[in-house]
Amino acid sequence: MKTVLWWAVAALAAACTATGVRSREVVAAFPAGWSGTWRGTLEVCNADGALPGASVEHVIEPTEDPARWRWVTTYDGAAGRVVKDYTLLVRDALRGAYAIDERDGVVLEARWLGDALHTWFEVGGSLLIVRESVLANGTAAATYCFELLTAPTATAADGDGAVRCFAPVVLQRARLRRVR
């Protein structure tokens, strides 16, 4: 009987993974568990080393609509102050489907995979890959992690053209601490 129960649980887990269905606990943890104001420093580097960074503040707050969250990032650096006043859209939380609405006609589809929110998009001849996560959530050491890799898309095809390589040229990385 234990063997049958184990196989039933394993089959259910595999089915949930295959269909992308997430547990209710995971769904409840994002984005609600990330809400607050996060601050820290953005590091930028390329093959030559470190580039000028910036101080960063990221605000995640609920709105009156549970399918829409404030998703505002403010950068203060040598280039001045830049505010990205976006909205996180909850498309289908059980399947990990989200989007970042830049509120200017651009909507970037995002997916919760593993323990992070992932977004991939192409703009101006560059592929941008974004990974956002929170480490040690629920503790005083909670850290919001943001990584963005940039790679040019105008690279030569490898072999017969079936595989294209996009070597990253810039990494932006921030580790922010919750301040509110």
Rounded Cα gap, residues 43 and 94, in angstroms: 33
| pLDDT at position 119 | 98
Query: Strand, coil or helix: what is 120?
Result: strand
Rounded Cα gap, residues 2 and 161, in angstroms: 51
Fold of 29-178: Lipocalin (2.40.128)
Rounded Cα gap, residues 58 and 40, in angstroms: 9
The per-residue pLDDT for range 141-165, each reduced to its tens digit, is 999 999 999 999 875 555 555 677 8
pLDDT > 50? residue 11 = no
Number of Cβ within 10 Å of residue 53's Cβ equals 17
Rounded Cα gap, residues 11 and 37, in angstroms: 40
- Statement: the pTM of the whole predicted model exceeds 0.95: no
| pLDDT at position 5 | 33
pLDDT > 60? residue 15 = no
Domain boundaries, the chain: 29-178
**Paired residues of 77 in beta bridges:** 54, 80
| pLDDT at position 2 | 41
